[in-house]
């Protein structure tokens, strides 16, 4: 297997490009002109690493659900839709919240870093600084109660209906869709 055909390398590349494109589209819609978000290189790196994590976890959840349902002799395995829905619910209620808060922290860190550079502040950014800036109420309201059940569970149900080799690219495309939806909403 060559480096460029490795599933995780391709996941990194897909998310680095597509999810970052989603951020560019979202910020351009908000500002009504083409806008490249600050720290774009770091954002691409973070999205790429998140893409590897997502690819790994999608495999874990799909394979674990299959193994668990097989062991139980569940008829759910005979329904692709039921399997996809249950896998999506499990992934989005366990991995989803952790993933989203981690991503919020990386974005917040980049925002603070950018603001400090503009203000010539050189002190180290701490976890306390990042956590102090994150609005956890808004996170709970918008992510846990908002986008996870109303967007990500249905979207990932579709994702898990797809053959495994298409899931990661579809998930990356979904991040573009959500970015557009949220920018239009705001």
Using pLDDT thresholds of 50, 70 and 90, give the confidence band for residue 26: confident
Q: What is the mean pLDDT of residues 9-35?
A: 91
Q: What is the mean pLDDT of residues 68-72?
A: 92
3-state secondary structure 69-128: HHHHCCHHHHCHHHHHHHHHHHHHHHHHHHHHHHHHHHHHHHHHHHHHHHCCCCCCCCHH
For the chain, give the percent of residues with pLDDT over 90.
Answer: 75
Q: What is the mean pLDDT of residues 49-57?
A: 95
**36, two tokens:** 């490249």
For residue 7, is pLDDT > 90? no
Residue with tokens 């080799």: 165
The domain limits of the chain are 3-185
Whole-number pLDDT of residue 1: 59
**42, two tokens:** 């770091």
- Give the angle 133-138-141 at the CA atoms, nearest 5°: 155
Q: In angstroms, rounded to a whole number, what is the distance separating the alpha carbons of residues 113 and 115?
A: 6
For residue 183, is pLDDT > 80? no
Question: Are 182 and 26 a contacting pair, CB within 8 Å?
Answer: yes
Using pLDDT thresholds of 50, 70 and 90, give the confidence band for residue 38: very high
Whole-number pLDDT of residue 184: 72
**71, two tokens:** 């062991």
Using pLDDT thresholds of 50, 70 and 90, give the confidence band for residue 186: low
For the chain, give the percent of residues with pLDDT over 70.
Answer: 96
pTM: 0.89
Whole-number pLDDT of residue 176: 85
């Amino acid at each position: 297997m060559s480096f460029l055909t490795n599933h995780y390398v391709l996941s990194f590349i897909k998310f680095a490009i597509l999810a970052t494109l989603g951020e560019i589209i979202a910020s351009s819609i908000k500002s009504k002109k083409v806008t490249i978000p600050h720290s774009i290189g770091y954002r691409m790196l973070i999205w790429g690493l998140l893409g590897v994590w997502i690819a790994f976890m999608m495999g874990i959840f799909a394979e674990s659900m299959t193994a668990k349902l097989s062991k139980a002799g569940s008829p759910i395995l005979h329904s692709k839709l039921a399997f996809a829905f249950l896998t999506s619910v499990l992934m989005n209620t366990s991995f989803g919240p952790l993933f989203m808060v981690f991503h919020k922290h990386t974005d917040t860190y980049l925002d603070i870093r950018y603001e400090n550079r503009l203000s010539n502040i050189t002190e180290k950014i701490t976890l306390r600084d990042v956590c102090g800036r994150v609005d956890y109420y808004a996170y709970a309201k918008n992510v846990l109660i908002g986008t996870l059940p109303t967007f990500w569970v249905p979207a990932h149900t579709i994702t898990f209906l797809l053959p495994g080799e298409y899931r990661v690219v579809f998930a990356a495309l979904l991040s573009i869709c959500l970015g557009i939806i949220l920018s239009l909403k705001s």
